[in-house]
Amino acid sequence: MKIAMQLSVSVPNNVGSLARLSDMLRAADVNIEALFCTEGKIETLVHLVVNDPETAKIVLRNIGEVIATDVVSYQVKNKPGAIADLARKCAGAGINIRHIYATSLGKDAMCYLEVDDLEKAKKAMK
């Protein structure tokens, strides 16, 4: 378990917004490690974990306000029940999961959780 910085920024909900955002990060040599979007009628909220959050914050300010939040990143085996185990650990410790996104490739998966109590999550995930 590690702590990662999640950056969130609103982009217009129209064709090309994500392309523009990702092109800007590419031009600054910032790699996107994880991403998820929450669509709204007018704007889409983009949540990112990147390899260089400080540079990304500067770049993304050209789009809008950037909100930085610490999230728990957790590598798990890519098998049935892996996310259920994480969710159960959080529930057992009284931790609310605000957002979760995950990716898998082969035998492993990486999960990112935005939780209401980071300190409790650190203890619960050990």
Provide the pLDDT for residue 35.
95
> Which amino acid, one-letter code, is at 64?
G
Average pLDDT over residues 13-37: 96
22 vs 30: CA distance, rounded Å: 9
| Count of the separate structural domains present in the chain | 2
Which residue range forms the structural domain that includes residue 106? 71-124
Q: How far apart are the first and last CA of the chain?
A: 7
Asked if 41 and 90 touch (Cβ cutoff 8 Å), the reply is: no
The percentage of residues in the chain with a pLDDT greater than 70, rounded to a whole number, is: 100
Q: In terms of domains, do 106 and 84 share one?
A: yes
Give the pLDDT confidence score for residue 123 in this predicted structure. Answer: 85
Identify whether residues 55 and 88 lie together within a single domain: no
Say yes or no: 93 and 64 in one domain: no
Q: What is the pLDDT, as a whole number, of residue 124? A: 84
CA torsion sign for 36, 101, 53, 27 is negative
User: Of 69, 87, 102, which residue sits at a domain end?
Assistant: 69
Q: The whole model's pTM is what? A: 0.89
